[in-house]
Amino acid sequence: MGLPIGYDLLFYLRVSMPHLVAPSLLSADFADLKSAVRVVDESPAPWLHIDVMDGVFVPNISFGFPVIKAIRPLTKKVFDVHLMIVRPENYITAFRDAGADLLTVHIEASPHLHRTIQGIKTAGMKAGVAINPHTPVAALEEVLADIDLVCLMSVNPGFGGQQFIQRTYQKIEDLAELRKRTGSKALIEIDGGVSTGNARQLVHTGADVLVAGNSVFAAKDPAGAIRELSV
């Protein structure tokens, strides 16, 4: 557990695989999280995507520290924790202690984003920034070189199983260009409405990480769905 400091995610990805899959626990059976984590643990997906919602930043409440802590001993996979909460800066060390390896905050919830990113890195985690569908990629310009991941929301955050927003393809292209221009090594993660129907095109357009909730855990064969999304 815990990514080594200085570990270059983009480099790792480029040399080892074309993209990586991060199954989202949000669509799993909450009464049997152990089995869901086991499916991911035994799969080729190197990350587990964990959605934390507060009912304030988004109109839904999911789970928090105790659940993350409880599943942490079950797998060594990277815990990719997506905070859909207000004041994420108040909980950085608490999420680190619960087991987060990579902590993603929303730009829309972070008036002092630069400080929050530094705080996440100082706490020993990788830092990600998520942007909602209405937020332009250009809003990331001043922080892109400092972060490890950009989470492009391809649905409005709050719920699993929503329809993918097509405009995301253009945002991936814009972000890839901005990444080049700023010398950033941030991974491009796509979150929302990812399925076997669009995974290939997303990777082809420039996605590095595919979050998949419904298309994995609502599938008859979740392990098979992860394998399909991984190739």
**Interface ranges with ligand DX5 (CB under 6 A):** 24, 26-27, 49, 51, 82, 155, 157-162, 191-194, 211-215
| 191 contributes a contact to Zn ion by CB under 5 A | yes
Q: Return left, alpha or beta for 139; rule: phi > 0 is left, psi -120 to 50 is alpha, else beta.
A: alpha
What backbone phi and psi angles, to 5 degrees, belong to 34? -60, -45
Q: Is the dihedral of CA 181, 204, 164, 129 positive or negative?
A: negative
CB of 130 to ligand DX5, least distance (A): 8
213 binds, among ligand DX5, Zn ion, none (CB under 5 to 8 A by kind): ligand DX5
| 82 contributes a contact to Zn ion by CB under 5 A | yes
Among the listed residues 156, 151, 157, the one whose alpha carbon sits nearest the alpha carbon of residue 209: 151
Contact flags string 94-133 toward Zn ion, x per CB under 5 A: ----------------------------------------
| 80 contributes a contact to Zn ion by CB under 5 A | no
103 CB-contact burial (10 Å; exposed 0-12 / middle 13-18 / buried 19+): buried
Contact flags string 28-57 toward Zn ion, x per CB under 5 A: -----------------------x------
CB of 50 to ligand DX5, least distance (A): 9
192 binds, among ligand DX5, Zn ion, none (CB under 5 to 8 A by kind): ligand DX5
Among the listed residues 174, 183, 109, 103, the one whose alpha carbon sits nearest the alpha carbon of residue 143: 183
CB 9 within 8 A of CB 126: yes
